[in-house]
């Protein structure tokens, strides 16, 4: 090949390369979730029940940024989700309401990435609108004549409740122990109990159906929420992209609006 033809070939190759980069960058910025390439396919997220409202919104926002992706959620108590993952349930992402349940999964090798704490949450007393039981504080949870709902101890909200009762020197007298915080909140919303302990984000999400009462011992049991992609994620690229979206400024804005605290 002559020197002039070789020069033309090199210039043409450079032009094609630059055109390819430009095309790729344009597509990523138009549809990427956090500035990277757009993802596609189904992304299955196992998330703590207390994340139901905020993660549902994040899922919609993520899909809007990635039209070829579909986010499917499995909301439940973190202990139940950890067990399901360890038993082989096909999950792409796990978001737990406590580090312990995440450790249960990392310990089996079902998650090999380092989990990232993305929010915190604290407990609050929840009572039906109008506070018919005349609840004033944590001490009322020891009164046998009142109907009380708590999370079971193996669930993060139940473990946190145990800590605050121990800190206050109170032995509660629950009438029902539920397997996730949403089930507890439902008891309050329907007026089936006089009081319960749920997260402050759940009180906020319930609107005018529930009233919240803060108590000082709540600071003794601040829940940290870790998130990570699963080692055997069916959609590893989608898992990574969704975790990045939750950790992004857009994700933080949704979670902050829901009442979650910074990690």
Least confident of 7-21, 45-59, 197-211: 7-21
What average pLDDT does range 249-253 have in this prediction? 98
Q: Is 15 exposed, middle or buried (0-12, 13-18, 19+ CB in 10 A)?
A: exposed
The reply to whether 230 and 216 lie within a common domain is no
Asked if residues 12 and 1 have their Cβ atoms less than 8 Å apart, the reply is: no
Distance CA 239, CA 233 (A): 7
Residue 199 lies in a domain: yes
Residue 60 sits in a domain of what CATH number? 3.40.190.10
Together in a domain, 115 and 237:
yes
Indicate whether 41 and 97 sit together in one domain: yes
Complete edge-to-edge strand list for the sheet that includes strand 148-151: 176-178, 148-151, 195-199, 123-128, 210-213
Residue 2 pLDDT > 90: no
Predicted local distance difference test score (pLDDT) of residue 38: 78
Q: Which of 129, 134, 155 is nearest to 221 (CA)?
A: 155
3-state secondary structure of 157: helix
Q: Per the structure, how many domains does the chain have?
A: 2
Task: Report which of 72, 22, 23, 28 is spatially closest to residue 242, judged by C-alpha positions.
Answer: 72
Q: Tell me the β-bridge partners of 43.
A: 71
Tell me whether residue 16 is in a domain. no
What pLDDT is attached to residue 16? 32
Range of the domain at 94: 31-120+224-257
Lowest mean pLDDT among 30-44, 58-72, 133-147, 204-218: 30-44
Same domain, 112 and 148: no
Q: What is the pLDDT of residues 114-148, one digit of tens each?
A: 999 999 999 999 999 999 999 999 999 999 999 99
């Amino acid at each position: 090949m002559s020197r002039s033809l070789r020069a033309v070939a090199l210039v043409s190759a450079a032009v094609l390369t630059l055109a390819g980069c430009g095309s790729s960058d344009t597509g990523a910025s138009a549809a990427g979730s956090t500035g990277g390439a757009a993802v596609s396919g189904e992304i299955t997220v196992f998330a703590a029940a207390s994340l139901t409202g905020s993660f549902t919104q994040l899922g919609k926002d993520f899909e809007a940024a990635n039209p070829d992706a579909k986010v499917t959620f499995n909301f439940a108590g973190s202990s139940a989700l950890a067990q399901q993952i360890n038993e082989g349930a096909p999950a792409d992402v796990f978001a737990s309401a406590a580090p312990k349940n995440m450790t249960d999964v990392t310990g089996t090798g079902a998650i090999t990435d380092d989990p990232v704490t993305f929010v915190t949450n604290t407990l609050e007393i929840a009572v039906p609108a109008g506070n018919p039981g005349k609840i004033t504080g944590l001490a009322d949870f020891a009164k046998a004549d009142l109907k009380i709902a708590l999370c079971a101890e193996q669930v993060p909200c139940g473990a946190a409740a145990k800590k605050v009762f121990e800190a206050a020197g109170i032995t509660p007298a629950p009438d029902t122990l539920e397997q996730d915080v949403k089930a507890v909140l439902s008891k309050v919303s329907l007026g089936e109990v006089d009081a319960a302990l749920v997260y402050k984000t759940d009180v906020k999400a319930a609107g005018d159906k529930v009233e919240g009462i803060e108590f000082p011992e709540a600071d003794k049991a601040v829940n940290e929420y870790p998130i990570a992609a699963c080692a055997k994620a069916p959609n590893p690229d989608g898992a990574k992209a969704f975790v990045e979206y939750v950790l992004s400024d857009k994700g933080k804005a949704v979670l902050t609006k829901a009442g979650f605290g910074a990690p």
